[in-house]
A = this chain, B = another copy of it.
Amino acid sequence: MTIKDIAKACGVGVSTVSRVLNNRPDVSPEVRARVLEVVESTGYIPNNSARDLGRSQTDAIGVVVRGTGNLFFSEVIKTIALEIDRSGCTMVPRYIGSDDDEVKAGAILEREKKLRGLIFLGGRFDYTPAELSLIGVPYVCCSFTNCFGSLSEAEFSSVSIDDYRTAYLAVEKLIERGHRRIAALIPSCSDHSISELRYNGYRDALRDHGIAFDPDLVMENGGCFGMPETYQGMRTLLERGAGFTAAFVLSDTTAIAAIKALEDAGRRVPEDVSVIAIDGLEISGYTSPTLSTMVQPAEEMGRETVRLLLEVLNGGENRHVRLETAFRTGASIRTL
């Protein structure tokens, strides 16, 4: 008899049973009574060895946030916080720079705060089993997964979009509108991370549509995800002189910086250059021009992340969830 069986017998979720067993307030009296009745009648014994350590040592969920300037993460964090609250657990955040090692930060946090589980919000995609052996609790990779690494899929959970495919689709939106000279502004083509995946999507979309790849149209921002670096990257790209009518940019905020660089150089968006990105922030629906972008479902990403972690904490298997993105039409692209 596991907590899952109890949940099934009661017709409620595992986290509801967990809340009742931990005497949390956020359960209705009816549900509480039903769960306790089933618990009693089945003779279910909660895992007291964990509970006896004291709630404060076992309900902490660490959230390592990598890349502190990421506005998309700000949207995801809110949902993660709300969902962790709802589960009765305690969220313990730790912010690290985009070049910092999230695995080491997570391992330290785990030991310092006696975590039950961990969420990595942003990280590398090329973990080895040896590196991740530092982590002794279940963890979920949020917004990324381990497609360049050698970890077994059974060892961890992940919630992300398909970065390769989303970039492919974004570039296809430009191609469909007649663009063939399409630039790419990304932190790195070979970081074994989000920008390499999106770069591959860009290249393959060109290839599949019979467009020759031109390295002069690719601008790497030295691995940086920031707006100043992307602004400068676009200026440098323009100075190269390789003509282009469209640009695929890694994220909404960097696309806004790229648009400013274009306008400061006398290029109008979208009249002279079309710009498309990935994220779908609220604010990029208000900038001028509004941004055409592939929307990542921030709330769903946060909600699924916490759901997967709670499942594993309650005895479930690790899972990998890929979320769909949706194209949001803006005024930043035009048909040639």
Contacts and interface: CB of A to CB of B under 8 A. Distances in A.
B286 A257 contact: yes
A9 interface: no
For this chain, the copies found in one complex come to 2
B82 A95 contact: yes
Interface string A47-77: 0000000101100100000001101001000
Interface stretch (A38-46, A85-93, A161-169): A85-93
A287 B68 contact: no
Nearest to A109: B85
A94 B113 contact: no
Interface residues of A, number: 37
A92 B90 contact: yes
Contacts of A232: none
Contacts of A25: 108, 112
A108 B90 CA distance: 13
A25 to B, nearest CB: 8
A274 interface: no
Most chain B CB atoms below 10 A, which of A54, A92, A108: A92
Contacts of A113: 56, 90
A227 interface: yes
Given A71-B74, A260-B288, A253 B93 contact: no
A182 to B, nearest CB: 22
Nearest to A259: B288
Contacts of A290: 260
A227 B283 contact: yes
A231 interface: yes
Contacts of A257: 286
A81 B56 contact: no
Contacts of A74: 71, 74
Interface string A92-111: 11110000000000001000
21 contacts: A25-B112, A54-B54, A56-B57, A56-B60, A56-B114, A60-B90, A69-B282, A74-B74, A85-B94, A90-B92, A91-B93, A227-B283, A231-B286, A253-B283, A259-B286, A260-B286, A260-B290, A263-B288, A283-B283, A287-B287, A287-B288
Closest 8 CB pairs of A and B: A56-B56, A74-B74, A68-B78, A260-B286, A288-B288, A257-B286, A81-B95, A78-B95
Given A91-B92, A257-B286, 12 more contacts: A54-B56, A56-B56, A56-B114, A71-B74, A74-B74, A81-B93, A85-B94, A91-B93, A93-B93, A259-B286, A259-B288, A260-B290
